[in-house]
Amino acid sequence: MMSKITEVNPIIWENDRVLLIDQTRLPGEYKIVEINSSEEMARAIKTMIVRGAPAIGVSAAYGMYLGAKEISITDRNSFLKQLEEVAVRLRQTRPTAVNLFWAIERMLKVANQTNGSVEEIQTALLETAKNIHAEDLQTCKNIGDRGVEVLPTTPEKLNILTHCNAGALATAGYGTALGVIRSAWRDGRLAKVYADETRPRLQGAKLTTWECVQENIPVTLISDNMAAHCMKQGLIHAVVVGADRIAANGDTANKIGTYSLAIVAKAHNVPFFVAAPLSTIDFKIFDGSQIPIEERDAKEIYQVGETRICPEGVEFYNPAFDVTPAELIAGIMTEYGTVAPGELEQFRVKQSV
């Protein structure tokens, strides 16, 4: 039996390399994967060794530095051109999570604005990647602490439902949605977590429950189609989920199944919250119709482990995300506090700083 982990650190920078928890092997095996190149990082993001929008952003930042380190030329313009090629490779890994693109653009901006030699640019890129890493961890703790403030005040201890995994594994640590839950547990506000299994990759069953068990947080696993029943029984007092991209109007892309969960919550008068850092807000797009939705390998649908669960000849549709309309969201929990989806514009300036 695997021993408990005292602190979940999904991304570690050590000895000029990145160490990632291989999330595809949890909960059965705790394995650290060593990443030494931008190509290895791109593969890790694509294959979901590392996943979750903020964690993808942090990993991409380190991937940019690893790619910069691989460029041996000393001419500045040629270096920047090759660095853009590294960025292209990383951008192609996961199309929906905006944190990926945000981190890459921040790294490119630093590269272009840093005066001096190629070596000095490389040094600045590493420092920026480390800053993105540290900032995300602090941001998640702020989201957790600020998010607790707007949770229902009755009952005294809450049952909170979450979907997919927006915990430490999906970030630099602590988590967004699960960060709110962690803070609620710390403050004596939480009775229990209800975790959707989250088909087809089962991130709720495999990852969210694993994180809760590590910290002795009471957790009950339910299948995705049980949420309405649980709400009707009065078992759920609030829903808190993460996000992969939030449009300027508050429409939110998150793991497939989030939209139906929001509809069910609305029908049962259960408040539905989204917890995410400002880096997840994409002010370049007005609403959710403009959010690109990643479609993944059909094997995730028709196969469980090595077992095929449907007959040959069936067609498949496997979108990884759906978009929850802003009107179904009670509030978006950020590091600066919780606002209604229609009030995000106030954060545009903060995001650009």
pLDDT (tens digit per residue) in 247-267: 999 999 999 999 999 999 999
DSSP tag of 284? T
CA atoms of 62 and 76, how far apart (whole Å): 20
Question: What is the residue whose two structure tokens read 């179904």?
Answer: 328
How large a percentage of the chain has pLDDT more than 70? 98
Starting at the earlier edge strand, list the strands of the sheet with 17-21: 11-14, 17-21, 32-35
Q: Residue 32 above 70 pLDDT? A: yes
List, in order, residues 6 or more apart from 168 with CB less than 8 Å away.
8, 9, 10, 174, 175, 178, 179, 211
Q: Which of 136, 196, 244, 251 is catalytic?
A: 244
pLDDT band at 93 (very low <50, low <70, confident <90, very high): very high
Q: What is the pLDDT of residue 352?
A: 64
Q: What is the pLDDT of residue 7?
A: 78
* Domain boundaries 145-352, CATH class: alpha beta
Q: Which among 65, 101, 95 is positioned nearest to 83, based on CA atoms? A: 65
Q: Residue 2 above 70 pLDDT? A: no
Domain boundaries, the chain: 11-141, 145-352
- CA 197, chain centre distance (Å): 16
Q: Residue 6 above 80 pLDDT? A: no
Backbone angles phi, psi at 130, to 5 degrees: -65, -40
Residue 294: exposure state from Cβ atoms within 10 A (0-12, 13-18, ≥19): middle
Q: What is the pLDDT of residue 350?
A: 78
CB-CB contact of 217 with 190 (8 Å): yes
pLDDT (tens digit per residue) in 104-153: 999 999 999 999 999 999 999 999 999 999 999 999 999 999 999 999 99
Whether 322 is catalytic is no
What superfamily would CATH give domain 11-141?
A: translation initiation factor eif-2b, domain 1 (1.20.120.420)
